[in-house]
Amino acid sequence: MDLDFALKSLLYAGGVGTLATTAYVLLPYVVDPHHLREVPGPFIARLTNLWLAYWSAEGKRSERVHEQHLKYGKFVRIAPNHVSINDADALPVVYGHGNGTLKPEFYDAFVASGVGVRGLFNTRNRAEHSRKRKIVSNVFAQKNVLSFEPHIIEALGKFIMQWDRMCVAGQRRESGSEQGGWRGDGDRVWLDCLPWYNYLAFDIIGDLAFGSPFGMLDACADTANAAVGGIAALKDSQDDASLNIKTISVPAIRILNERGEYSATMGVLDPWMRPLLTRFVPWFAQGQQSVRNLSGLAVAAVARRLAQPSERNDLLAKLQNAIDEDGNPLGPEELTAEALTQLIAGSDTTSNSSCAIAYYVAKYPRVQLKLQQELDAALPDDGVPTYEQLKRLPYLAAVINEGLRLHSTSAMGLPRVVPEGGLSVAGHFFPPGAILSVPTYTLHRETTVWGADVDTFRPERWLEEDQQLIQKTFNPFSWGPRACVGRNLAMMELQLIVATTFRRYHVMLESEDPLETREGFLRKPLYCRIGLKKRSL
Ligand code: HEM
């Protein structure tokens, strides 16, 4: 082959490739199948979903979408077929019962490998979701949630034991390198509270959904046992003859984080790109491995429970006993999928929220004092309180709501597909197949609702007269049939965790810098360094 021919072929191939790429990028813009051309938004986002994927991978999706709303107003096109709508009145239309919207392909990126069936969160089929939701809603009824309280109190007992130990060490000026490092200055101990809230939340959900705590609070480390491979691997394994499962120790908190970031980015990309990325890009390959490891946790726990039936009162027992309308219980694969869903949905949601609330209460000493005055008056001592003692404390509730508003753990606009026949939202008609979302982070910063001090942590706004507008705009648990099914449990946990922390300790921030965050599916604090001192009463 002569050089001239080789060069010409290369140029030709390059030209065809460039043309094909240009056509791929421009075609949806030119054809505009969802009639969204007049919706404003960043120029690149109108052409390709890579704009949204890039900011998702950077962990800044909600912040960037928020900036676009400040620039363009209520409607912003954040991907060629996706419009973000900043309007609380759009919540019932986009997420409510009866409008026919469904979860889009985005949620396929959250399906666990090695389990065999989808869990409640990533089920997209309406009938399948209704069946599962009826079963799981019963499990989370308030009566059941209250019966889980002893598990939460036990974990909190271990949590304060560890913090007390470090407070004493801090007074002796000792220090340690674990959990991001801690040091005592003779008065306080200075530490990163994020890993501790993670250990606490994971131990609680491990105890409730998997039959026993992961043991993170005892070990002071991120460690859990996972089955290797999927359910099929369980049957063949000779590793543990009594349970017939082969397990490895995995850092559950780390893999859950990796999995959240991986799935939230992957979900934004076209489905055909996904296998290519997991094959050739190490970051995606690592994310996929995390998804597998996470499934292994649930596989191991459910296999253990099925092999050794137990009298425990926990989520797993309630799921085992639950039946659908036809009287059928959940099969082993469905049980595994739901236990895994609860681990994923119920762990770092709670720990990220607890950590952010601790940050803001520490940052505003006036709020901390007022909260402690309410807790001191209501609680006889500084041990772990009961839910009964806390459930009617208005300032505690206001502190939690304000933390959920300002931090917005679930921050992104959760995407939904417009059904056949189209949908009118806030005076705009959207054709079938368009993706819509209402961005919670932006709703929680709407100055016309929250006032000019929207960036200030001010729990008093929850105790003021006119609550109608702010309640309508407050969206931490989402809306409608796909809203958080674990909301009652989440609120009880947050009340117990925040009250225990601030009744027992005085908390200062090491630095007043803004809370650094990174968003995967959830918006997570990256760390939160505080100075702890046991209060003397
Ligand atoms: C502060 C803590 C929590 C927050 C902010 C939160 C928020 C949310 C949000 C926004 C959704 C909707 C997700 C979507 O549509 O894509 C959701 C769904 C869900 N949450 Fe939570 N959650 C929390 C705690 C919990 C807990 C403790 C559990 C259970 C142990 C739980 C279980 C679930 C489940 C199973 C779903 C899927 C529901 C469905 O699709 O029908 N969550 N949560």
Q: For residue 487, how far is its CA from the centre of ligand 1 (angstroms)? A: 7
- Which residues neighbour 341 within 8 Å (Cβ) at sequence distance 6 or greater? 119, 120, 121, 122
Please tell me the pTM assigned to this model.
0.91
> Which pLDDT does position 146 carry in this prediction?
94
Task: Please indicate whether residue 278, judged by its CB atom, sits closer than 6 Å to ligand 1.
Answer: no
The tokens of 342 are what?
């609860």
Q: Where are the alpha helices (DSSP H) in 177-251?
A: 193-209, 216-219, 231-236
> Which pLDDT does position 16 carry in this prediction?
58
Task: Please indicate whether residue 264, judged by its CB atom, sits closer than 6 Å to ligand 1.
Answer: no
Which helix H or strand E contains 429, and what residues bound it? strand 428-430
Predicted-complex ipTM score: 0.99
CB 245 within 8 A of CB 204: no
Q: Please state which of the four CATH numbers 3.40.50.10090, 3.40.50.300, 1.10.630.10, 1.10.530.10 is assigned to the domain occupying 32-534.
A: 1.10.630.10
The tokens of 400 are what?
């939690």
Among 131, 318, 349, say which to mutate for ligand 1: greatest number of ligand atoms within 8 Å of CB. Answer: 349
> Which pLDDT does position 251 carry in this prediction?
85
Query: How far apart are alpha carbons 339 and 331 in whole angstroms?
Result: 12
Enumerate the known binding-site residues for heme.
Answer: 484
> Which pLDDT does position 10 carry in this prediction?
56
Q: For residue 310, how far is its CA from the centre of ligand 1 (angstroms)? A: 27
Task: Please indicate whether residue 442, judged by its CB atom, sits closer than 6 Å to ligand 1.
Answer: no
Query: pLDDT 10s digit of each residue in the chain, 537 long?
Result: 565 665 566 556 555 555 565 555 566 666 677 779 899 999 999 999 999 999 999 999 999 999 999 999 999 999 999 999 999 999 999 999 888 999 999 999 998 877 779 999 999 999 999 999 999 999 999 999 999 999 999 999 999 999 999 999 999 999 988 888 999 999 999 999 999 999 999 999 999 988 888 899 999 999 887 665 444 444 444 344 455 567 777 788 888 888 889 899 999 998 888 889 888 899 888 888 888 888 888 888 788 888 777 788 888 888 988 888 888 888 888 998 999 999 999 999 999 999 999 999 999 999 999 999 999 999 999 999 999 999 999 999 999 999 999 999 999 999 999 999 999 999 999 999 999 999 999 999 999 999 999 999 999 999 997 899 999 999 999 999 999 999 999 999 999 999 999 999 999 999 888 999 999 999 999 999 999 999 976
Query: How far apart are alpha carbons 386 and 475 in whole angstroms?
Result: 27
> Which pLDDT does position 233 carry in this prediction?
41
Task: Please indicate whether residue 409, judged by its CB atom, sits closer than 6 Å to ligand 1.
Answer: yes
> Which pLDDT does position 242 carry in this prediction?
54
Residue-wise pLDDT for 445-489, tens only, equals 999 999 999 999 999 999 997 899 999 999 999 999 999 999 999
The tokens of 260 are what?
């959240």
Residue-wise pLDDT for 99-148, tens only, equals 899 999 999 999 887 777 999 999 999 999 999 999 999 999 999 999 99
Q: For residue 339, how far is its CA from the centre of ligand 1 (angstroms)? A: 13
Task: Please indicate whether residue 349, judged by its CB atom, sits closer than 6 Å to ligand 1.
Answer: yes
Alpha carbon 320 to chain centroid, angstroms: 25
